[in-house]
Amino acid sequence: MQTQILVPNGTIARVRVQIKRGNYNDPTLGLTGGWATRNPKTGVIYLNCVATLLEGDHKQRKAFFRVGLYSPKTQKYAEQGMRLLRAILESSHGFFPADQSEQAVKIRNECNLSDFDGIEFVARIEVEEENPPYPAKNTINFAITPDDSRYLGNSQTSNAQKS
């Protein structure tokens, strides 16, 4: 099996997300359009995402991550997922987390899951250790928002950097 060359842990980079459609819908949870994936064994529902690095030494490399939407066992899973989605929106649009402007509130309130397919934002790339039979891989658990000094603003022409 070929070993994948990983992006170093802690790398900050602009990424573009593609959601792998799971074709799961549950209108009672607000899940429509087939964007969500449901694990039939656990009942967990999530967005299955692939992020492509857009610039720097690691351009075109991939990071794989899931955004939790629902768990039958704990509300914390969905809460963490909602925090990540909000941070992705804020990073993408250049909004500070405390921004309560009309535009920021409107975007936060009116977005739906389809808005995250193709979204670009600044991410902290992490390495998820090998868990046999699965090899180590790059993942994303954190979006960098404009209030963070590591944020790569839209006007910058920057390379991916390690924090």
- Domain tally, the chain: 1
Has residue 137 been placed in a domain? Answer: yes
Has residue 162 been placed in a domain? Answer: no
Has residue 6 been placed in a domain? Answer: no
Has residue 155 been placed in a domain? Answer: no
User: Is 0.85 topped by the overall pTM?
Assistant: yes
Residues of the chain with pLDDT under 50: 1, 155-163
**N- to C-terminal Cα separation, the chain:** 31
Dump pLDDT digits (tens) for 46-74: 999 999 999 989 999 999 999 999 999 99
What pLDDT is stored for residue 146 in this prediction?
96
Has residue 163 been placed in a domain? Answer: no
Has residue 91 been placed in a domain? Answer: yes
Q: At residue 115, what are phi and psi to the nearest 5 degrees?
A: -65, -20
User: Which domain range does residue 45 map to?
Assistant: 11-145
In the block, tokens 């969905």 appear at 78
